[in-house]
Amino acid sequence: MVLEKVIKEINIQSEYKSFVEEYTACLLSEFSGKVHSIYMCGSIPKGTAKPFKSDADFTIVCERPEDIDYDRVSCLKDQILQKYRLVTKVDTVICSLDDVRSKPNEWGFWIKIICVCIHGTDIGEEVPPILISPEFILDLNSDTQEAVDRVRGFLSNANDETLKSRYIKGYSKRLIRALYTLVLEDTGVWQDDITKMKSAISDYCNIDSALVDYLYACYLDSNVDVEEFLGIAEEVYSYIEKALTALMEESSVIK
């Protein structure tokens, strides 16, 4: 089964258009000649963003990521957020043309399926059709353990309540996303709506639904006890880890 693009056409709401245009122009001006293309994903390009609730997700594709000074990107993000307060946060990911071309089930998937091109030539069109398979699901989760370990460490050491809330929300989303990858062969589509992800997990995954409900509740309202959250998160990740190990063994047998 071939995955289809999440956002088939750009539909940016009027209140976000000047924000997207200005931030894009700032990136192109700051890194003149170094940017191949710029992409967005999430609610803003889909036309479902909610002022003062939705964030913005950009991806810069370039020949050499080291040419893009991330400190300067951070400064540009801070400046644009001061002007456009209806946007809660701006995330900007940087990857190379080679990443997209050589890692079709990772960066290729991100650019071809999740994102939509808002400037430049869409490198995602060079990525071959992406087939849902055990190998693809394993590739999608190749960095899950690293990401989970990193966020767990941040959360365990965070003293600021705002940071704790952000890490809990991010950790919850990451685990729900990983659980969703386990049911991709059942759904046949990639969902970027976390509510729909949760629904599909409930329909097709045999994990205790109470654990998924808890993560979803934490994603919506992350004002929870950190120790309790970490315990539940560990239980969920243990399930994911076992499922991925079984998938790896199954894939090895098929080969």
pLDDT in tens, 177-232: 999 999 999 999 999 899 999 999 999 999 999 999 999 999 998 888 899 999 99
Taking CB atoms within 8 Å and a gap of at least 24, the contacts of 223-228 are: 223/165, 224/168, 226/155, 226/156, 226/164, 226/168
Would you say residue 249 has pLDDT above 90?
no
Paired with 7 in beta bridges are: none
Instruction: Return the SS3 of 67.
Output: helix
Q: What is the CA radius of gyration of the chain?
A: 19
Q: Which of 81-85, 147-151, 152-156 has the highest mean pLDDT?
A: 81-85
Q: What percent of the chain has pLDDT over 70?
A: 98
Which pTM value belongs to this model?
0.86
Identify the band that residue 244 occupies on the pLDDT scale cut at 50, 70 and 90.
very high
Identify the band that residue 67 occupies on the pLDDT scale cut at 50, 70 and 90.
very high
Would you say residue 254 has pLDDT above 70?
no
Which two three-digit tokens encode residue 181?
């990858």
**φ, ψ of residue 128 in degrees (nearest 5):** -60, 160
Tell me which residue has tokens 């999430």: 42
Tell me which residue has tokens 């992406």: 130
Would you say residue 134 has pLDDT above 70?
yes
β-sheet with 90-96: strand ranges across: 90-96, 56-62, 35-41, 116-120
Average pLDDT, the chain: 93
Q: From CA 212, how far away is CA 220, in angstroms rounded?
A: 12
Nearest of 95, 130, 112 to residue 5 by alpha carbon? 112
Q: From CA 10, how far away is CA 182, in angstroms rounded?
A: 29
pLDDT in tens, 120-131: 999 999 999 999
Predicted local confidence at residue 35, as pLDDT = 97
Predicted local confidence at residue 255, as pLDDT = 53
Would you say residue 253 has pLDDT above 80?
no
